Amino acid sequence: MTPLEERIGYKFRNSLLLAEALTHPSLGHESQRPHFDYQRLEFLGDAVLQLVITEYLFRNFGVEGEGQLTKLRSRLVSREALKTHAAELDLGRYILMGRGEEASGGRERTSTLADAFEALIGAVYLDGGLEVAKNFILTQTRTDLEELAEKPVDINPKGELQELLQSISPQIPVYELVSQSGPEHEKTFVSQVLWEGVILGQGTGRSKKQAETVAALEALQLRRWEKKP
């Protein structure tokens, strides 16, 4: 078994699937030769992840309505959450990428780690089937799922942050779009929240709204306004 297979507890029958899941698009661009990359597996893995998490929430949160279940799922499959799971597997070190991408910090980039984690799910699904992929996903997200069971209450990070800051000053937090990347149908957005000239947090998401929500969550965790002179 490869070191990564040992980490995830699964031996691939088709090792090419694992190689594909760990190949960044920059490798083909830099070599200017046709080369597979993880984008197709990422597309598949995202769907498998959504299905498994949706079924888990449906079965374990029987009294919650559709809106609440959607919010809980968003927390579990956010770019930041997936990046955390990838980091726990040390996934960045196994990704094959172009020298330019690596030099610019590609191995630690949120979008790269989240995409590679979804691609890995897609590869596991194709190689071992839905049950194997389901076990992998539930194992990797166990901590988040346990935390969700303890704190399943509806949260509104943006509203909570604004209310907290307005108890200190009448100035409201402002959200700015830092960057957007990816194809039109599957963009990744990065937003930051500022208050009185201080960047309180930054977040990444598949929509501007999701990126702003993650930024508000980070702001609530870091509480940088308390360090403001």
Q: Where are the domains of the chain?
A: 3-150, 157-227
Q: 157-227: same fold as 3-150?
A: no
Residue in 40, 36, 37 with CA at minimum distance from that of residue 24? 37
Query: What pLDDT, on a 0 to 100 scale, did the predictor assign at position 18?
Result: 95
118 is catalytic: yes
pLDDT grade for 193, boundaries at 50, 70 and 90: very high
CA pair distance 8, 18, nearest whole angstrom: 12
- Please tell me which residue in 20, 37, 42, 46 is annotated as part of the active site: 46
For the chain, what percent of residues have pLDDT higher than 90?
Answer: 47
Give the N- to C-terminal CA distance of the chain in Å, as an integer: 53
Q: Residues with Cβ < 8 Å from 186, sequence gap 6 or more?
A: 43, 206
Architecture of domain 157-227: 2-Layer Sandwich (3.30)
20, 42, 115, 118: which one is catalytic?
Answer: 118
Q: With respect to CATH, is domain 3-150 assigned 3.40.50.360?
A: no
The residue among 8 and 106 whose pLDDT is bigger is 8
This prediction's pTM: 0.66
Please say if the pLDDT value at position 229 is more than 70: no
% of the chain surpassing 70 pLDDT: 93
3 sits in the region (left: phi over 0; alpha: psi -120 to 50; else beta) called: alpha
Asked if 154 is an active-site residue, the reply is no
